[in-house]
Amino acid sequence: MSSKLEQLRQLSVVVADTGDLGAISRFRPRDCTTNPSLILKAAQQPESAGLVRDVIEQAAQAGDTTEVILDRLAVRFGVELTRLVPGDVSTEVDAMLSFDTDAMIDKARFLISLYQQQGVGKERILIKLAATWEGIRAAEVLEREGIRCNLTLVFGLEQAVACAQAGAFLISPFVGRITDWYKKTEGRESYPVDEDPGVQSVKRIYRHFKEQGYQTVVMGASFRSAAQVEALAGCDRLTVSPALLAELDQDQGVLERQLMPEGTASAKQEAITEAVFHWALVENQMAGEKLIEGLRLFHRDYLALKQDVQGKLELLSHSGVVTR
């Protein structure tokens, strides 16, 4: 019998949640997703040292700011990933811009221009934006320009629906972070997978989208266990860490479909207004808290990557390779 990973490929698009080039080669996902945390981790791996050095040297010699160097680094990793996977690669906009629609639009356009300079068309790239109200509005503009968006840090149904109504290509509803919140709040060590709050949230979003006929792709994300992944088999896409991909690859058990692509048509939902959107995040304490926490953690890792790049710039400057 084939592994659960191979069975999963028949039910959902398997996406690797990593910037690790070696892991991509090993598990052969169709797509890849990255974020500042993953780029930071990948940039510190020995096999990526040459890539990071090349980007920093070239950008520094051109007089780029540290922020632009970070953009070039993210794009360079993305370019390498497009050579390893046949599908989409997601590149994330700095979380600190998540409440500035115009800034997110400008950054997305800039990232796409960097990809195009490297010979990668926008049809291969998804721009990751946080699913704030401003991020959703930015995605609405970008989608009209043919720049597809991945709305991330989705924790509630209203967030998801607002993304779909704005025409976002894809959303990333989180599983593990939701479960983490409920475990801490309720004092639980674990949940049976069929009662797992994170799993149930993604199932609810997926079924609602099918009932409403939304074309936005649902990609489950932020998994803590292989059991959570298996519980969402059949979801449009699932983005999974290398460790869990390895676990699924080694499991020869039977994997059954849990989600069906068809849905029973229901009355069309009214448009989510800004007031409804924000109040939903107030009423859903978990969603409101995890959205803000996610933004804070992503920006923290962005700053850590920035500090790492600045340190490398100083070393290059002292060695005379570049002048600042």
The catalytic residues are 128
Q: Which residues pair with 92 in a beta bridge?
A: 128
Measure CA of the first residue to CA of the last residue in the chain; give whole Å: 59
Contact status, residue 244 vs residue 195, Cβ threshold 8 Å: no
Contact status, residue 235 vs residue 5, Cβ threshold 8 Å: no
- In the block, tokens 């049809």 appear at 123
Q: What is the DSSP-derived secondary structure letter of residue 12?
A: S
Q: What is the DSSP-derived secondary structure letter of residue 94?
A: P
CA–CA separation, 130 and 31 (whole Å)? 19
Buried/exposed code over 170-185 (b: 16+ C-beta within 10 A; e: otherwise) = bbbbbbbbbbbbbbee
